[in-house]
Amino acid sequence: MNKQVQLHHWGLIDYQQAWDKQEQIFAETVACKVANRGRAVEECVSTPNHLIFCEHPHVYTLGKSGHETNLLANDDFLRTIGATYHRINRGGDITYHGPGQLVGYPILDLDNFFTDIHRYMRLLEEGIIRTLADYGISAGRIEGPGHERLTGVWLGNDNDGSRSVGPARKICALGVKASRWVTMHGFALNVNTDLSYFGHIVPCGITDKAVTSLQAELGHPVDLTEVADRVKTHLAELFEMNLID
């Protein structure tokens, strides 16, 4: 079990370019696993793990289980606000990425950690919850109207704490893909995000919940690099990773 994880900082990067780079790393990892199946144990090669941090220019992405009707703008309008749109191969519905948002793409071989996709999702959420606690914000998970758990990290509703009272609002979205226990895509934490861009979609297909950001909750901008450092520290603890920068 290889728990070394290579850390990558891609900065502000076009969504399609980042997706292509993810796909390449993902394919190489899966190919390594497939090749190992034909080797003797002593000849097997450890599969690599990666944790990528980046930002994207304004873009809307729709997951494979999503509905295009949750995009409330046409192509002409998207051009006027400088945004693009992609249908992609993660789970979940529609979301927004843009400057000031911390996007994390863990490309992990879960055979190196644990083979439980639900535990994987909950630990990603927990890493964000602990990061928000570092800023005095109480966050957590909430249930939908049918008592199903709503993926992501939320403030308000059943969460308490002086900075998280009020109606439920999402601060971090999650959407992943996994094949042969190798993951890709990940999470998007609103730090200094322009929340007006969420007004052109039904975020994650949920009509009765709001969105928020660290900046909106604290009343001032937050250093994105500092937030990324806190997130990586918490994820390293939760997954027992050995991060290599």
DSSP type of residue 46: P
- Distances in Å between the Cα of 127 and the Cα atoms of 113, 143, 239 are 16, 19, 10
Backbone CA torsion sign across 27, 32, 37, 39: positive
**Nearest-angstrom CA–CA distance, 137 and 143:** 19
Residues 28 and 34: their CA atoms lie apart, in Å, by: 10
Name residues whose C-beta falls within 8 Å of residue 71's C-beta, 6 or more positions apart in sequence.
Answer: 60, 62, 85, 94, 200, 201
Query: Six-digit token pair at 119?
Result: 């535990």
Contact (CB, 8 A) for 206 and 169 = no
Rounded-to-integer distance, Cα 49 and Cα 47, Å: 7
Distance of CA 220 to CAs 2, 115, 135, 191, Å?
40, 40, 12, 10
The set of residues, in sequence order, having a beta carbon less than 8 Å from that of 146 and lying 6+ positions away, is none
**H helix or E strand, kind and range, residue 60:** strand 59-62
Name the residues annotated as catalytic.
204
Q: Give the bridge partners for 149, in sequence order.
A: 143
